[in-house]
Structure 1
Amino acid sequence: MKLISVTKIWDASPHNAFTDLVRFKQKLYCVFRQASAHVSPDGALRILCSDNEGKDWQSVALVETDFADLRDGKLVVEGEKLFLFAGAAIQQEEGRAMRSYCWQSHDGVNWAGPRALVKEREWLWRITPHKGHFYGIAYYCHEHDGYAALYKSDASTDFHPLVEKLSQAGYVNESGLVFDEADKAICLLRRDPLWQTDERALLGESEPPYTQWHWQTTNCRVGGPVTFLYQGKLYGVVRLYDGRVRTSLVAIDRQRAQIEELLSLPSGGDTSYAGVVLCDNILMVSYYSSHEGDCAIYFAKIAL
């Protein structure tokens, strides 16, 4: 594993964070949240486009609402459509309430929506297309009744729950979900020590129809996970917390549930939430970091 290049591609807002990356119609698209702070009511989703493999980027869209802080945009390609999924933090008298939304585009520039998804207060965090369906893990944050749930949808984004209580092993939340060549689903599930002490991530696997899962506890805490398969092996880009907080490429041993750091990207402080595009043996990564000052968006290329 070797870092080929890394460049800062956006720093125009006071806080730029929570990225994703896809290839759509021969171009790269990167989405991220721009706002005044890590948590603030003015979050909007900026979309950048590159037609030369990440050398140059142009802003092509800004998706925003007048009723919510938009967070953690995720891009998904399905046929000739580009989907944008995001969480919306809505300020109410009793506090902030989460709702999940979706937008659609044919060109990455003009967006139709938003459309509300799943249950109120559930955050549908990352979507994975597989065999004509969308799969995603939503989470509900609550000290006593919190959970992660597995959803399935067709391309019309009509989601229904496959497993309503996928996990309640502590504060389970963000996830990376992929499917291998044998159709097994593999989930890396983040945990945080809010109301329990074990902060180590969980690794789960399931065979079709994905209603029965086997879970293992990994060896470390992760944040903002995105996972991918390369030459039959499972990898991820995550935030690691041991020692200096950083964004790193990791290998994930599915049998032993062990996470091994392979390469640390230039990063630190407020960082992670990567998007990945795999092209032959080159991994392209979007992520954010505050190691050079304010939070900015970075684009890296890694030789696998």
Structure 2
Amino acid sequence: MSGSDSPAARLQTLFEGHRLTPTQRRIAHSMVRRAAEVPFLSSVELAELAGVSQPSVTRFAVALGFDGYPALRRHLREVVPSAEPAPRAAGHNEYQQAVVAEIENLRHLAEALADPAPVREAGRTLAAGRPLVVLGLRAAAAQAHGFAYFAAKVHPDVRLLNEGGTMLHDRIDAAVRAGASALLCFALPRHPREVLDALAHAREAGLTVVTVADSAFAPVAKVSDLLLPAAVGTGLAFDTACAPMLLGRVLLEAMCDDLPDAQARLEEFDARAAARGLFVE
């Protein structure tokens, strides 16, 4: 996605066009996730954040074309001037701060959606899939389940893969044999190795992989054909995923736009639900 002038988007622009090692991609991923803090971190602090060695951070800066990390940090302070963390608002406790941070993530998502082309492309790809495979494991299982629940109301055949194990590849193969052409993956930290293996297998089997992830530099980027980033909140003990969830709903809308009978299917479902008394009004 483009169209955003947020600190995270500016960082992503800085990294584009560089061939980064897996360790360097991990550093880039960590920087994007904590874009507001990065221009003010030392190399040691960034190394601790990314879980790598301090020399790895130095080599990363050199790979981007800088003399070393201090030069990279000076550059970041120039090109990401809005990234300085705002002081804690008076009277806001840690729970409120987590909400404020999520609001900021949603604002960045809104800016990214100023260019709707990637989402529209993803919507067309998902609408054409018969069946449509939706994958999400561990932290992302809830996002995948929510998307599949609503998608099944408008799409003729949705197959949810939200449990790992030795049968995961088998289920992907079965979907391919049934005619599947696309797989939608929700990938959130911490990223299970099993997801990367499953996406690599899906691409080898001929599926187009569309991924919603927390960063354009998430580990799943290398095994995705189209990656749509939406940041997660990191202020609480467990990450919060309001932006990825909303991006999933936006994808649903884009998919509906390319399903000519989507509205008819919704009306049919509503009629059946009313006849069965499914919902309390």
Which interval holds the TM-score relative to the shorter structure? under 0.3
Normalising by structure 1, we get a TM-score of 0.23
Normalising by structure 2, we get a TM-score of 0.24
Structure with larger RCO (C-alpha < 8 A, sep 6+) = 2
Which structure's CA Rg is the greater one?
2
**Which structure's residues are more often strand, by fraction?**
1
